[in-house]
Structure 1
Amino acid sequence: MNKRTGYFFLRISMGINFFGHGLVRLTKLQDFAGGMTTGFEKSWLPQVLVHAFSTALPFLEFTIGLLLMIGFKTRIVTMSGASLIVMLLFGCSTVENWEAMGIQMIYAGLFYILISRIEDNSLALDRK
């Protein structure tokens, strides 16, 4: 039972984190997307691609966060969250943002736990 409870709290915590990131950024979407695009001006990534990604990012964070909190489609959602972290890592590497990458590696590790311990996901809508 402790593994299930631990999994529940890790899943909820990651959900709140992603949900909060998305929610706050959605309320100022144009400013967020513009700021992120500006931050990647020195990157070799096409600005149109950076702007499209930064506009979609808050919606992805919000949705992944909400689904993690309620425990719906947890396997798909955790893999989506991990994939999003991989994309963020890639982007940060193009502007040499090593500090952000260090934090994102923590997220990658937490998603590893959520994915590899999916059998402990009993306190979720998936199991109802």
Structure 2
Amino acid sequence: MSNQQTVQSKGIYHGLPVYSPSLKGLTAIITGANGISGNYMLRVLAQDPARWSKIYCLSRRPPAIPDGLPENAEHIALDFLNDPETISETLKDKGVQADYAFFYSYVQTQPKEDGGLWSDAEEMCRVNGMFEM
């Protein structure tokens, strides 16, 4: 058995893993699914509905997909700033179970006075470093 992973390129993305076609019926959670990275991950996973039979999109707002969510995707409105008990209850009520989780959630903090969007990068790191899965 080989310990090497085959990789591929898609557009500007390089080093993407190639998985065995025998991997089927997996479920995924994408947090921050309405953001740039989460939205793109949804599109990538949706390209292989046989492998990803269910994709849970967790974010405050639904992902902006021009033709709507793929059939195998479900948006669950969830704010990760809520307490863990509320988050857990929501996921249990919706029956969410997953094989993989792709975490793209983050909080955009207020910039310093008269500063640009990233002027308080230290606070961004502090706040977003508190997220743990």
TM-score (ref. length: structure 1): 0.27
Which gives a bigger RCO, structure 1 or 2 (Cα 8 Å, sep 6+)?
A: 1
Structure possessing the higher radius of gyration over alpha carbons:
2
Q: Give the helix-richer structure, 1 or 2.
A: 1
TM-score (ref. length: structure 2): 0.26
